[in-house]
Chains A and B, each alone.
Chain A
């Protein structure tokens, strides 16, 4: 049996036995992937987050993936109610939360059952045996107790009567019900995990103090549960080995942990500050985009005005109104919401007002899988509106990149006076990674000019006169004397914007709108490529699949193959050199979490045949899936 703590992947484990006196050995390992799984009510997201925060603060590279049910509280103990959180922490530069966990912390039978498939063969299982009673086994559809029937043979099992141990530790705290006690058992599990992985407790202790400092009994319960878990590891014989993961060799700088949704929120605020604008964020609650609204509602001291609209259409309409009024207007949503917004997006497009539309894609079609990830809104963003409706589309590749892309989105919106779509996804939104805090002083301001009547020289204001370079129309704000004008959704005359159905006017306005979006290609950076400059195979991806694709390509090259990776951030317009890049490789593999949407665009635009790899399971790609496809292609 292989060491379950060996990093999965090609890199060899660097295990060094640490000398220890009277204590278990502390082994140094490069990477660990741990998955916390329990009932939705067990606080697994919190446990995973706390574990991640500590790993980040001690300098590991981290990548996380929460995996929770759409139901807020599915019946306790059932498979539908299992909530998981996977943390990959490492002394190396890592790009994904890892294909499969090496360690599973399972709080009940349902958690064990549903997470077992996410565990490497022979992995370690720390299991709360107290929950393995007849009723819970039945809810998890176990005919016999897996802890006793031998079905877990080959795994390294650590049975822990966790509920009872936790109650014992808390029993003399005044004013606690048994229910209150059990609510803190996740901290017992966390404490035990901290001991096994040689992590300091102070970060979480500090958090408990901040969170529960005003409720002495709850504070004490959580503190004691954490300590009890830690001491349990220390004092029992069950755990003979501890593991230490040294700090990662990250580029120098100040770091914080960030998720994609957090990065979008602060990116929007940063863009508003850089443009010296109020931010008006209009949104209707929708998973997995709602956290952007929550974050922004807490940043009102930055002149952020949040509008929780009555529906998706209202959110889009309000963004248009706010843009007309001169604010940095944004709406955020997910796939079903984008569908509802489409008519108003077209209005925004023909009014030629700058704004940003953030789509945090989720599993579709229809309501689909709200908490799962997919990349299936690309064609909707590209074509999902009546008429010719060109919009710039950007896609961040990593959680941290959501910040840069969001700032860029407003820069482009203001540059050409157009709505700009940002395609994030459920994986990016909720995954965390270390993020090097940018030097904000070095960020270029977003220059925006609003015309006044002084420039008119007695001629009338032309709302659709275009800038010679960018083709942007002027952004005249209500309140400006002399520039009163009317704009609308009807076909219009170039220049004046007056209603016109003249065939030449209609053609010209369509041409101008298309040309100004296409012209961004000259402004945006060229496509970069990782790996060989030409050769047999290019892996071409976009959006949140970056980590899996890059890691697979790194591994393939380490094995002597010649594979390149290009990850597209600018989906409309495509980078100006993309055709040339595609032409340098014999074959192109396009892995996507959809049915082949980028593949369709690439083949249609560049007449370049591509090999598709699709996945529609609500889950990100595993590195191994990409590698297997690369191996299949290259033989």
Chain B
């Protein structure tokens, strides 16, 4: 006789398995929908059972993300998601952990945690939704807003210089740095998969459209009609060529990248993308932006370095190998102890 039990064998995961019963509450037309759909599509392709996946977020529109992923998840507090994710990995390094953040959450209130997480190289996937605005608080300029941006808190235009998230991540010597666009879902999916594969902190900036408070912020690069002219899709080991007709390329002139016509220069004059190069090279690439340069997309940097939590745990193993696994008796004992007998005598 058999009794019915809950199947515990991992069954192949599909997109439907990752959808929760919670109504998605982003504004209709928000770029977040495309990112969510892409995540739900590519995660099953990564071969990780959903019970081993955790999404941790902070506060902001993007940070509602974990509620819509049928994995483990924590919707935490503003800016602190990387700290929770770090502790989580220290407790259980086998989990695949995503940090979902935004330009305000990750670069303003949580800027400190972001750079320190990157520098430590905790094995996390940080996806930063950059919409250059505070959406959830209804439209104030953010740390990635452009100078002059008129918002509710900057009616005469922002007088602040914005961050370039990739440059920030590279300054912290992140081991994996990439960029994609919400609506460029195929590209985004590939970048996410690469981020998951990478051991160490993967930092992915996603250009995300907030159609309510900053509509069209990424129009130049997101619009499929103009995208080929305005972006440079980086491919490791390939020359940097872009344009609808693939007629333009990037070469170095001294320390300065410059856009050239491919036809005008010898083939080997063009820069070849190298994900494993010096961080200063990746920094140089990260600085390229419109109107002078195409906007680089894809994986800028991917290098292997020791993973933080693996090292912490390894130190414990080394200590146990050297000193033996500790016992409670040894713990409370001391080199300098003494015995008092019942009759006040010393031994």
User: What 1/0 flags go to A240-254 for Cβ under 8 Å of B?
Assistant: 000000010111111
What would 8 more interface pairs be, CB under 8 Å, given A278-B91, A301-B325, A484-B50? Answer: A255-B339, A257-B334, A299-B331, A300-B315, A310-B113, A317-B76, A317-B86, A347-B77
In contact, A347 and B333 (Cβ under 8 angstroms): no
In contact, A329 and B332 (Cβ under 8 angstroms): no
- The residue from A59, A203, A256, A481 contacting B334, defined by CB atoms under 8 A apart: A256
Question: A69 to chain B: which residues have CB within 8 Å?
Answer: none
* A566 part of interface (Cβ distance < 8 Å): no
Q: What are 30 A-B pairs with beta-carbon distances under 8 A?
A: A254-B337, A254-B339, A256-B332, A256-B338, A299-B331, A300-B315, A301-B320, A305-B90, A305-B312, A309-B116, A314-B80, A314-B83, A314-B112, A317-B86, A317-B113, A318-B90, A321-B86, A321-B89, A321-B91, A322-B88, A323-B87, A325-B89, A325-B91, A454-B6, A458-B4, A458-B6, A484-B51, A486-B67, A486-B75, A489-B75
Question: A253 to chain B: which residues have CB within 8 Å?
Answer: 339-340
Q: Which of A15-23, A50-58, A76-84 makes up part of the contact surface?
A: A50-58
Contact A310:B116 (CB < 8 A) given known A301-B325, A317-B83, A484-B71:
yes
Would you give the shortest CB distance from A403 to chain B, in whole angstroms? 8
Would you give the shortest CB distance from A210 to chain B, in whole angstroms? 9
User: What 1/0 flags go to B290-327 for Cβ under 8 Å of A?
Assistant: 00000000000000000000001101101110111110
Contact A437:B346 (CB < 8 A) given known A254-B337, A321-B85, A479-B92:
no
* A488 part of interface (Cβ distance < 8 Å): yes
Cα of A477 to Cα of B91 in the assembled complex, Å: 11
In contact, A478 and B333 (Cβ under 8 angstroms): no
* A483 part of interface (Cβ distance < 8 Å): yes
* A195 part of interface (Cβ distance < 8 Å): no
Question: A216 to chain B: which residues have CB within 8 Å?
Answer: none
Question: B338 to chain A: which residues have CB within 8 Å?
Answer: 56-59, 254-256
In contact, A305 and B316 (Cβ under 8 angstroms): yes
In contact, A351 and B90 (Cβ under 8 angstroms): no
Cα of A247 to Cα of B312 in the assembled complex, Å: 45
Q: Which of A266-274, A418-426, A599-607 makes up part of the contact surface?
A: A266-274
In contact, B84 and A321 (Cβ under 8 angstroms): yes
Contact A247:B346 (CB < 8 A) given known A309-B83, A310-B113:
yes
Contact A273:B67 (CB < 8 A) given known A252-B341, A301-B322, A321-B88:
no
In contact, B6 and A453 (Cβ under 8 angstroms): yes
Closest to B77 in A: A347
Cα of A512 to Cα of B134 in the assembled complex, Å: 34
Cα of A306 to Cα of B309 in the assembled complex, Å: 10
- The residue from B71, B72, B312, B332 contacting A266, defined by CB atoms under 8 A apart: B332
Question: A458 to chain B: which residues have CB within 8 Å?
Answer: 4, 6
Contact A273:B331 (CB < 8 A) given known A58-B346, A321-B56, A480-B51:
yes
User: What 1/0 flags go to A482-503 for Cβ under 8 Å of B?
Assistant: 1111111110000000110000
* A327 part of interface (Cβ distance < 8 Å): yes
Question: A488 to chain B: which residues have CB within 8 Å?
Answer: 66-67, 73-76
Question: B112 to chain A: which residues have CB within 8 Å?
Answer: 310-311, 314
* B263 part of interface (Cβ distance < 8 Å): no
Contact A482:B8 (CB < 8 A) given known A266-B332, A302-B325, A343-B77:
yes
Question: A327 to chain B: which residues have CB within 8 Å?
Answer: 90-92
Please list the residues of chain A having a beta carbon within 8 angstroms of any beta carbon in chain B: 53, 56-59, 203, 247, 249-258, 266, 269-270, 273-274, 278, 280, 282, 299-307, 309-311, 313-327, 329, 343-344, 347, 351, 403, 437-438, 440-441, 443, 453-454, 456, 458, 477-490, 498-499
* B54 part of interface (Cβ distance < 8 Å): yes
Closest CB pairs A-B (n = 9): A317-B83, A488-B75, A325-B91, A321-B87, A318-B87, A321-B84, A327-B91, A321-B88, A322-B87
* B20 part of interface (Cβ distance < 8 Å): yes
Question: B66 to chain A: which residues have CB within 8 Å?
Answer: 486, 488
In contact, A321 and B83 (Cβ under 8 angstroms): yes
Question: A325 to chain B: which residues have CB within 8 Å?
Answer: 87-92, 95
* B254 part of interface (Cβ distance < 8 Å): no
Question: A314 to chain B: which residues have CB within 8 Å?
Answer: 80, 82-83, 86, 112-113, 116
* B70 part of interface (Cβ distance < 8 Å): yes
In contact, B334 and A313 (Cβ under 8 angstroms): no
Q: How many A-B residue pairs lie within 8 Å, measured between CB atoms?
A: 247
* B28 part of interface (Cβ distance < 8 Å): no
Contact A329:B87 (CB < 8 A) given known A302-B331, A437-B332:
yes
In contact, B84 and A280 (Cβ under 8 angstroms): no
Would you give the shortest CB distance from B17 to chain A, in whole angstroms? 9
Question: B137 to chain A: which residues have CB within 8 Å?
Answer: none
Cα of A595 to Cα of B90 in the assembled complex, Å: 40
Question: A57 to chain B: which residues have CB within 8 Å?
Answer: 336, 338
- The residue from A53, A258, A303, A324 contacting B84, defined by CB atoms under 8 A apart: A324
Question: A309 to chain B: which residues have CB within 8 Å?
Answer: 83, 116
Please list the residues of chain B having a beta carbon within 8 angstroms of any beta carbon in chain A: 4-6, 8, 10, 20, 22, 49-52, 54-56, 66-67, 69-77, 80-92, 94-95, 112-113, 116, 312-313, 315-316, 318-320, 322-326, 328-329, 331-334, 336-342, 344-346
Cα of A321 to Cα of B67 in the assembled complex, Å: 17
In contact, A59 and B346 (Cβ under 8 angstroms): yes
Dominant SS among interface residues on chain A: mixed
Interface centre among B92, B320, B329 (most CB of A within 10 A): B92
Dominant SS among interface residues on chain B: mixed
Contact A499:B67 (CB < 8 A) given known A203-B336, A321-B91:
yes
- The residue from B89, B91, B336 contacting A53, defined by CB atoms under 8 A apart: B336
Would you give the shortest CB distance from A44 to chain B, in whole angstroms? 20
In contact, B86 and A307 (Cβ under 8 angstroms): yes
Cα of A304 to Cα of B317 in the assembled complex, Å: 10
Would you give the shortest CB distance from B70 to chain A, in whole angstroms? 6
Closest to A53 in B: B336
Would you give the shortest CB distance from B339 to chain A, in whole angstroms? 5
In contact, B91 and A486 (Cβ under 8 angstroms): no
Cα of A163 to Cα of B342 in the assembled complex, Å: 45
Cα of A247 to Cα of B345 in the assembled complex, Å: 8
Interface centre among A322, A351, A403 (most CB of B within 10 A): A322
Cα of A250 to Cα of B319 in the assembled complex, Å: 36
Question: A311 to chain B: which residues have CB within 8 Å?
Answer: 112
Question: B116 to chain A: which residues have CB within 8 Å?
Answer: 309-310, 314
In contact, B91 and A329 (Cβ under 8 angstroms): yes
Would you give the shortest CB distance from B344 to chain A, in whole angstroms? 5
Question: A326 to chain B: which residues have CB within 8 Å?
Answer: 91-92
In contact, B6 and A320 (Cβ under 8 angstroms): no
Cα of A305 to Cα of B87 in the assembled complex, Å: 10
Closest to A346 in B: B77
Cα of A270 to Cα of B330 in the assembled complex, Å: 11
Closest to A487 in B: B74
Interface centre among B113, B116, B322, B334 (most CB of A within 10 A): B334
Closest to B56 in A: A321
Would you give the shortest CB distance from B172 to chain A, in whole angstroms? 11
In contact, A256 and B336 (Cβ under 8 angstroms): yes
In contact, B6 and A456 (Cβ under 8 angstroms): yes
Would you give the shortest CB distance from A340 to chain B, in whole angstroms? 11
Would you give the shortest CB distance from A105 to chain B, in whole angstroms? 22
Cα of A301 to Cα of B82 in the assembled complex, Å: 27
Cα of A386 to Cα of B69 in the assembled complex, Å: 29
In contact, A483 and B22 (Cβ under 8 angstroms): no
Cα of A230 to Cα of B222 in the assembled complex, Å: 83
In contact, A481 and B49 (Cβ under 8 angstroms): yes
In contact, B315 and A486 (Cβ under 8 angstroms): no
Question: A247 to chain B: which residues have CB within 8 Å?
Answer: 340, 344-346
In contact, A486 and B72 (Cβ under 8 angstroms): yes
Question: B313 to chain A: which residues have CB within 8 Å?
Answer: 305
Would you give the shortest CB distance from B135 to chain A, in whole angstroms? 17
Would you give the shortest CB distance from A71 to chain B, in whole angstroms? 27
Closest to B322 in A: A301
Contact A320:B76 (CB < 8 A) given known A301-B326, A478-B51, A484-B70:
yes
Contact A252:B342 (CB < 8 A) given known A299-B326, A310-B116:
yes
